[in-house]
Amino acid sequence: MSDDPLPPPPPAPAPGRTTARTAAVIPAAGRGVRLGPGAPKALRPLGGTPMLIHAIRAMAASRAVSLVVVVAPPDGAAEVRTLLDAYALPERTDFLVVPGGGSRQESVKLGLDALPTGYDIVLVHDAARPLVPVDTVDAVIEAVRDGAPAVVPALPLADTVKQVEPAAAPGDPEPVVATPDRSLLRAVQTPQGFDRATLVRAHGTVTDDVTDDASMVEQLGLTVVTVPGHEEAFKVTRPLDLVLAEAVLARRRLNDGF
Protein backbone atom coordinates (compact mmCIF):
# COMPACT_ATOMS: atom_id res chain seq x y z
CA MET A 1 0.00 0.00 0.00
CA SER A 2 1.34 3.49 -0.83
CA ASP A 3 2.35 5.82 1.97
CA ASP A 4 1.34 8.83 -0.12
CA PRO A 5 -1.04 11.05 1.80
CA LEU A 6 -4.58 11.02 0.46
CA PRO A 7 -5.43 14.08 -1.65
CA PRO A 8 -7.62 16.60 0.18
CA PRO A 9 -11.36 16.09 -0.45
CA PRO A 10 -12.99 18.57 -2.89
CA PRO A 11 -14.41 21.61 -1.10
CA ALA A 12 -18.00 21.03 0.00
CA PRO A 13 -20.56 23.36 -1.64
CA ALA A 14 -21.66 26.21 0.63
CA PRO A 15 -24.98 25.50 2.40
CA GLY A 16 -27.87 26.03 -0.02
CA ARG A 17 -25.53 25.74 -3.04
CA THR A 18 -25.54 22.96 -5.59
CA THR A 19 -22.92 21.80 -8.06
CA ALA A 20 -25.58 20.21 -10.29
CA ARG A 21 -24.81 19.83 -13.99
CA THR A 22 -26.23 22.42 -16.35
CA ALA A 23 -27.89 22.02 -19.75
CA ALA A 24 -29.10 24.73 -22.10
CA VAL A 25 -32.27 24.40 -24.21
CA ILE A 26 -32.23 26.71 -27.24
CA PRO A 27 -35.64 27.25 -28.83
CA ALA A 28 -34.80 27.94 -32.48
CA ALA A 29 -37.97 26.81 -34.23
CA GLY A 30 -39.51 30.23 -34.94
CA ARG A 31 -40.07 31.59 -38.45
CA GLY A 32 -38.95 35.15 -37.75
CA VAL A 33 -42.01 36.76 -39.34
CA ARG A 34 -41.15 40.18 -37.87
CA LEU A 35 -37.68 40.00 -39.42
CA GLY A 36 -39.22 39.66 -42.88
CA PRO A 37 -39.28 36.93 -45.52
CA GLY A 38 -36.46 34.40 -45.65
CA ALA A 39 -35.18 31.25 -43.99
CA PRO A 40 -36.23 30.46 -40.39
CA LYS A 41 -34.71 33.27 -38.28
CA ALA A 42 -32.23 31.10 -36.37
CA LEU A 43 -30.69 29.89 -39.62
CA ARG A 44 -30.18 33.36 -41.09
CA PRO A 45 -26.58 34.62 -41.23
CA LEU A 46 -25.02 37.08 -38.79
CA GLY A 47 -21.45 37.97 -39.76
CA GLY A 48 -21.60 35.06 -42.25
CA THR A 49 -22.48 32.46 -39.56
CA PRO A 50 -26.02 31.27 -38.73
CA MET A 51 -27.53 33.11 -35.77
CA LEU A 52 -28.14 29.73 -34.11
CA ILE A 53 -24.41 28.89 -34.14
CA HIS A 54 -23.67 32.18 -32.35
CA ALA A 55 -26.32 31.36 -29.74
CA ILE A 56 -24.95 27.82 -29.25
CA ARG A 57 -21.40 29.16 -28.87
CA ALA A 58 -22.66 31.72 -26.35
CA MET A 59 -24.09 28.91 -24.18
CA ALA A 60 -21.12 26.59 -24.67
CA ALA A 61 -18.77 29.45 -23.71
CA SER A 62 -19.83 28.85 -20.12
CA ARG A 63 -17.69 26.09 -18.65
CA ALA A 64 -20.70 25.07 -16.56
CA VAL A 65 -22.81 24.12 -19.61
CA SER A 66 -22.11 20.53 -20.67
CA LEU A 67 -25.15 19.85 -22.88
CA VAL A 68 -27.01 22.01 -25.41
CA VAL A 69 -30.42 20.89 -26.70
CA VAL A 70 -31.30 22.69 -29.92
CA VAL A 71 -35.00 22.86 -30.74
CA ALA A 72 -34.93 23.09 -34.53
CA PRO A 73 -37.59 24.32 -36.96
CA PRO A 74 -40.13 21.44 -37.28
CA ASP A 75 -38.84 20.44 -40.73
CA GLY A 76 -35.25 21.60 -40.12
CA ALA A 77 -33.71 19.12 -37.66
CA ALA A 78 -31.53 17.49 -40.32
CA GLU A 79 -30.27 20.88 -41.51
CA VAL A 80 -29.41 21.88 -37.94
CA ARG A 81 -27.49 18.63 -37.38
CA THR A 82 -25.51 19.36 -40.55
CA LEU A 83 -24.72 22.86 -39.25
CA LEU A 84 -23.49 21.46 -35.93
CA ASP A 85 -21.03 19.25 -37.87
CA ALA A 86 -19.94 22.11 -40.11
CA TYR A 87 -19.05 24.72 -37.47
CA ALA A 88 -16.40 24.52 -34.76
CA LEU A 89 -17.98 24.00 -31.33
CA PRO A 90 -16.36 23.19 -27.98
CA GLU A 91 -15.58 19.47 -27.67
CA ARG A 92 -16.47 19.38 -23.98
CA THR A 93 -20.13 20.16 -24.84
CA ASP A 94 -22.64 17.53 -25.98
CA PHE A 95 -25.44 18.39 -28.40
CA LEU A 96 -28.93 17.09 -29.07
CA VAL A 97 -31.30 18.27 -31.78
CA VAL A 98 -35.08 17.88 -31.58
CA PRO A 99 -37.81 19.27 -33.84
CA GLY A 100 -39.81 22.18 -32.38
CA GLY A 101 -43.47 23.05 -32.18
CA GLY A 102 -45.94 25.74 -33.17
CA SER A 103 -45.18 28.15 -30.30
CA ARG A 104 -42.09 29.05 -28.29
CA GLN A 105 -43.68 27.47 -25.22
CA GLU A 106 -44.30 24.21 -27.08
CA SER A 107 -40.76 24.21 -28.47
CA VAL A 108 -39.23 24.67 -25.01
CA LYS A 109 -41.38 21.82 -23.69
CA LEU A 110 -40.16 19.54 -26.50
CA GLY A 111 -36.56 20.46 -25.63
CA LEU A 112 -37.18 19.77 -21.94
CA ASP A 113 -38.76 16.39 -22.73
CA ALA A 114 -35.57 15.40 -24.56
CA LEU A 115 -33.24 16.26 -21.64
CA PRO A 116 -31.45 13.19 -20.26
CA THR A 117 -31.30 12.63 -16.52
CA GLY A 118 -28.33 14.09 -14.65
CA TYR A 119 -28.89 17.74 -15.57
CA ASP A 120 -30.52 19.52 -12.66
CA ILE A 121 -30.05 23.11 -13.81
CA VAL A 122 -31.60 24.18 -17.10
CA LEU A 123 -31.06 27.36 -19.07
CA VAL A 124 -33.58 28.37 -21.72
CA HIS A 125 -32.01 30.67 -24.29
CA ASP A 126 -33.53 32.20 -27.44
CA ALA A 127 -31.58 31.48 -30.62
CA ALA A 128 -32.68 35.02 -31.43
CA ARG A 129 -30.29 36.41 -28.74
CA PRO A 130 -27.05 35.35 -30.42
CA LEU A 131 -24.68 37.80 -28.71
CA VAL A 132 -25.32 37.31 -25.00
CA PRO A 133 -21.96 37.57 -23.18
CA VAL A 134 -20.71 34.60 -21.16
CA ASP A 135 -20.63 36.67 -17.95
CA THR A 136 -24.42 37.00 -18.14
CA VAL A 137 -24.80 33.24 -18.70
CA ASP A 138 -22.56 32.51 -15.72
CA ALA A 139 -24.39 35.00 -13.49
CA VAL A 140 -27.69 33.22 -14.20
CA ILE A 141 -26.20 29.80 -13.43
CA GLU A 142 -24.61 31.09 -10.22
CA ALA A 143 -27.93 32.43 -8.97
CA VAL A 144 -29.63 29.05 -9.59
CA ARG A 145 -26.73 27.28 -7.88
CA ASP A 146 -27.25 29.62 -4.94
CA GLY A 147 -30.77 28.26 -4.56
CA ALA A 148 -33.11 30.40 -6.72
CA PRO A 149 -35.71 28.22 -8.53
CA ALA A 150 -35.87 30.69 -11.45
CA VAL A 151 -33.57 33.50 -12.59
CA VAL A 152 -33.91 36.12 -15.33
CA PRO A 153 -31.39 38.63 -16.66
CA ALA A 154 -33.08 42.03 -16.50
CA LEU A 155 -32.43 45.61 -17.59
CA PRO A 156 -34.11 48.86 -16.60
CA LEU A 157 -36.28 50.46 -19.28
CA ALA A 158 -35.07 53.43 -21.30
CA ASP A 159 -38.57 54.50 -22.38
CA THR A 160 -41.62 55.49 -20.38
CA VAL A 161 -44.27 52.77 -20.72
CA LYS A 162 -48.02 53.39 -21.19
CA GLN A 163 -50.79 50.92 -20.60
CA VAL A 164 -53.48 51.23 -23.29
CA GLU A 165 -56.94 49.91 -23.98
CA PRO A 166 -57.41 48.04 -27.25
CA ALA A 167 -58.49 50.27 -30.14
CA ALA A 168 -62.24 50.24 -30.77
CA ALA A 169 -61.60 49.30 -34.41
CA PRO A 170 -58.44 48.59 -36.40
CA GLY A 171 -56.64 51.89 -37.11
CA ASP A 172 -58.41 53.79 -34.30
CA PRO A 173 -56.25 55.37 -31.56
CA GLU A 174 -55.57 53.31 -28.42
CA PRO A 175 -56.60 55.26 -25.29
CA VAL A 176 -53.89 55.42 -22.59
CA VAL A 177 -55.21 54.21 -19.25
CA ALA A 178 -52.09 54.24 -17.04
CA THR A 179 -48.38 55.07 -16.80
CA PRO A 180 -46.75 52.40 -14.61
CA ASP A 181 -43.84 53.45 -12.36
CA ARG A 182 -40.89 52.78 -14.66
CA SER A 183 -38.47 52.36 -11.78
CA LEU A 184 -40.21 49.08 -10.91
CA LEU A 185 -40.28 47.69 -14.45
CA ARG A 186 -37.58 45.58 -16.12
CA ALA A 187 -37.05 44.24 -19.61
CA VAL A 188 -36.06 40.60 -19.28
CA GLN A 189 -33.75 38.63 -21.51
CA THR A 190 -32.45 35.11 -21.85
CA PRO A 191 -30.87 32.81 -20.81
CA GLN A 192 -33.41 32.27 -18.08
CA GLY A 193 -32.17 29.72 -15.57
CA PHE A 194 -34.14 27.15 -13.60
CA ASP A 195 -33.97 24.36 -11.16
CA ARG A 196 -34.99 21.58 -13.59
CA ALA A 197 -37.76 20.10 -11.44
CA THR A 198 -39.36 23.55 -11.11
CA LEU A 199 -39.30 24.19 -14.86
CA VAL A 200 -40.68 20.74 -15.66
CA ARG A 201 -43.49 21.32 -13.13
CA ALA A 202 -44.23 24.75 -14.64
CA HIS A 203 -44.46 23.34 -18.17
CA GLY A 204 -46.64 20.50 -16.93
CA THR A 205 -49.01 22.79 -15.04
CA VAL A 206 -49.43 26.11 -16.85
CA THR A 207 -51.67 25.97 -19.88
CA ASP A 208 -51.98 29.73 -20.64
CA ASP A 209 -49.98 31.14 -23.53
CA VAL A 210 -47.01 32.96 -22.05
CA THR A 211 -44.08 34.79 -23.61
CA ASP A 212 -41.37 33.53 -21.29
CA ASP A 213 -40.65 30.53 -19.07
CA ALA A 214 -40.12 32.52 -15.87
CA SER A 215 -43.73 33.71 -15.94
CA MET A 216 -44.83 30.05 -15.76
CA VAL A 217 -42.82 29.67 -12.56
CA GLU A 218 -44.43 32.88 -11.23
CA GLN A 219 -47.80 31.20 -11.85
CA LEU A 220 -46.72 28.36 -9.55
CA GLY A 221 -46.38 30.98 -6.81
CA LEU A 222 -42.59 30.73 -6.66
CA THR A 223 -40.19 33.67 -6.57
CA VAL A 224 -38.27 34.53 -9.73
CA VAL A 225 -35.14 36.62 -9.14
CA THR A 226 -33.20 38.91 -11.47
CA VAL A 227 -29.52 39.27 -12.24
CA PRO A 228 -28.14 42.17 -14.31
CA GLY A 229 -28.88 41.74 -18.01
CA HIS A 230 -26.61 43.02 -20.78
CA GLU A 231 -27.35 45.39 -23.66
CA GLU A 232 -25.67 42.97 -26.10
CA ALA A 233 -28.13 40.23 -25.12
CA PHE A 234 -30.87 41.99 -27.11
CA LYS A 235 -33.28 39.91 -29.22
CA VAL A 236 -33.04 40.05 -33.00
CA THR A 237 -36.68 40.61 -33.79
CA ARG A 238 -36.99 43.28 -36.51
CA PRO A 239 -34.68 44.21 -39.42
CA LEU A 240 -32.97 47.04 -37.50
CA ASP A 241 -31.97 44.57 -34.76
CA LEU A 242 -30.00 42.64 -37.36
CA VAL A 243 -28.16 45.84 -38.36
CA LEU A 244 -27.26 46.39 -34.68
CA ALA A 245 -26.20 42.76 -34.25
CA GLU A 246 -23.87 43.00 -37.28
CA ALA A 247 -22.35 46.19 -35.80
CA VAL A 248 -21.82 44.60 -32.37
CA LEU A 249 -20.20 41.55 -33.95
CA ALA A 250 -17.94 43.72 -36.15
CA ARG A 251 -16.85 45.67 -33.05
CA ARG A 252 -16.06 42.43 -31.19
CA ARG A 253 -14.05 41.10 -34.12
CA LEU A 254 -12.09 44.38 -34.29
CA ASN A 255 -11.40 44.29 -30.55
CA ASP A 256 -10.36 40.63 -30.73
CA GLY A 257 -8.08 41.38 -33.70
CA PHE A 258 -9.64 39.02 -36.27
Ligand X SMILES: C[C@](O)(CO)[C@H](O)COP(=O)(O)O
Ligand Y SMILES: Nc1ccn([C@@H]2O[C@H](COP(=O)(O)OP(=O)(O)OP(=O)(O)O)[C@@H](O)[C@H]2O)c(=O)n1
Applying CB under 6 A, the residues found at the interface with ligand X are: 104, 126, 188-190, 211-212, 235
Report the distance separating Cα 226 and Cα 191, nearest Å: 11
Report the distance separating Cα 21 and Cα 134, nearest Å: 17
Instruction: Tell me if 32 contacts ligand Y by CB under 6 A.
Output: yes
b/e code 110-130 from CB counts within 10 Å (16+ = b): bbbebbeeebbbbbbbbbbbb
Min separation Cβ 139 and ligand Y, Å? 21
Partner from ligand X, ligand Y, none contacting 190, C-beta within 5 to 8 A by type: ligand X
Contact residue for ligand Y among 23, 28, 122, 233 (CB under 6 A): 28
C-beta nearest to ligand Y: residue: 30
Report the distance separating Cα 156 and Cα 241, nearest Å: 19
Min separation Cβ 252 and ligand Y, Å? 21
Q: Which of 114, 121, 142, 127 is nearest to 194 (CA)?
A: 121
Instruction: Tell me if 44 contacts ligand Y by CB under 6 A.
Output: no
Contact residue for ligand Y among 107, 136, 189, 198 (CB under 6 A): 107
Instruction: Tell me if 127 contacts ligand Y by CB under 6 A.
Output: yes
136 in Cβ contact with 153 (< 8 Å): yes
Partner from ligand Y, ligand X, none contacting 66, C-beta within 5 to 8 A by type: none
Footprint (CB under 6 A) of ligand Y, residues 58-77: 71
Instruction: Tell me if 27 contacts ligand Y by CB under 6 A.
Output: yes
Instruction: Tell me if 37 contacts ligand Y by CB under 6 A.
Output: no
Report the distance separating Cα 19 and Cα 12, nearest Å: 9
Give the angle subtended at the CA of 236 by the CAs of 257 and 181, to the nearest 5°.
Answer: 115
**Contact footprint for ligand Y (CB under 6 A):** 27-34, 41-42, 71, 100-104, 107, 126-128, 235, 237
